[in-house]
Amino acid sequence: MRSDVYALGVILYELITGEVPVRRRPESAGGGTHYLRDPARRPSSTLGRDGRPARHLRGDLETVVLKALEKEPARRYQSVADLAADVQRYLHAEPILAHPPSGLYVLGKKLSKYRRAIALGAAALALALAGIGLALWSHQRTLEAKRRSIMYDALVQARQGQYQGAVKQYTLLLDDSRAAADRVPQYYHRAHAHLCLREYVFAISDYTKAAEHMHPSSGRGVSTAVPRRCGSWPAAEAAADCREFRKLRPGASYADALLYLVLRDQAGILIQSGRGVDGETRVQEAGDVLTAARRAVAPGSWLAKILDCLAGECIPDALVDTVNPGNAEQRCEAYYYAGEACLLLAQTAEARAWFKRCVETGLVFDPDTYRRTP
C-alpha cells in the first residue's frame, strides 16, 4: 500500500511539473541506487515552460506531493485514501493534514549520515572541555587556598595587635577580590586595623567603602557596615562578648544596647543574603534583649533614655535635649545613639548628621585604653 502511495506521488509530481522527482543518472553512477537514496526535488525548484522556477507550486500542493514521495515508508500517507483526501482538501482550499518535515528531522537525517565522524568529534570536544574544566577547577582551588591563608594571617595579626601587618594582608585580599560582597568584611576589618593604629582618615575611608559596597544604590544597609563603636570588632564576636558580660553583670548596662544593635546588624545581613526567616528570628531576639533591659534599668537614668530612644519611644532630638551640658561624654553618646536610632529606621541622611555632630565633639576614645569589652 505504501508503494502505491509512492507511485501515485510520482504520477502527481509529473502531472504538475512535467518531470520526474529524481533525475536519472548514468547506469555507471551507482547502478540506479540513487533512486533509493536521493530525496525528491521540490516541485517549486523545477523549471516551468518560461524557463523560470515554478514558485507557484510552493505551499500545500508541494507538501502533499513530497509526503507521498518520502523515502521512509512510515513517513508517507498511510493509504491511497489518505492521499486522495488531502488532494481533495487542497482542491477545496481546506487545511491539509500533511506537514513538511521539521528542521530537526532533516538535521537528524544529515547527522546520521556522518554519525561516526560526529561521534569522534564530540568525544574529542568532550575530552578537551573536561581538560579545560579540570585546569580551571585546580587553578580556582589554588587561589582559594591562597586567599584562606592570607585571611587567616590577617585575623591572627589583628588579634595579636599587629595592626600594620593586618592592614597589608587585607590590602592583598582587596586587590584580589572581584565580588562586591567579598569586599564588605575586608574593608570593614581593615578599617578597624587603621582605627587601632589611629589612622583615622584611612579608617573613615574604609568604613565608607564598606557601606557603599553593602548597598551602592541607596545607602541602605549602612548600619551593618559602619563601626558600632570606637574599636569595633566582628559582630559574632561582639555578640558573644556581650552575652558573657551580661551573665557576669546582672541588670541593665551598655552591653544590652550594644547587643541589641549587633543583633539588628546580623539580622540585616541575613535578610539581605536571602535568609529572611533567620533574619526575622534575630530581630525577635534583639527585641527581647531590649525589652528585658528596659525592664531592668533604673527609671529616669541616662541609660534608660538611651534604651527608650533605640526602642523608638523617644525621638533623637528629645534624647539630645536631656544631656547634661557639662558632661562631654554624655553629649557625645547622645549624638551617637541618636544616629543609631535613625539608622534603625533607615534614615541614613539624618544618621549621618548626628554622627557628624558626634565626631565634632572632639572626644577621643583611645583604642589602647579601651580594650575589647562591652
Rank 28-32, 57-61, 255-259 by mean pLDDT and report only the highest. 255-259
Q: 127-149 burial, b if ≥16 CB within 10 A, otherwise e? A: eeeeeeeeeeeeeeeeeeeeeee
Predicted confidence (pLDDT) per residue in 164-179, tens digit: 999 998 888 888 755 5
| Average pLDDT of the chain, as a whole number | 80
> Which cell numbers hold the place of 188?
570593614
Domain 2-113 of CATH type 1.10.510.10: yes
In this predicted structure, what is the pLDDT of residue 203?
A: 85
pLDDT tens by residue, 72-114: 888 889 899 999 998 998 888 777 777 665 666 566 656 666 7
Distance (Å, whole) CA 174 – CA 254: 34
How many whole angstroms separate alpha carbon 25 and alpha carbon 32? 7
DSSP secondary structure, 84-125, as one string: HHHHHHHHTTPPPS--PPPHHHHHHHHHHHTHHHHHHHHHHH
Side-chain half-sphere of 145: how many Cα atoms within 13 Å? 6
CB 310 within 8 A of CB 260: yes
Q: What is the largest CA-CA distance in the chain?
A: 117
pLDDT computed for residue 189 by the predictor = 86
Report helix, strand and coil shares of the chain as percent, to nearest 5.
70, 0, 30
Domain edges within the chain: 2-113, 239-374
Confidence of residue 372 (pLDDT cuts 50, 70, 90): very low
Q: What is the pTM of this model?
A: 0.41
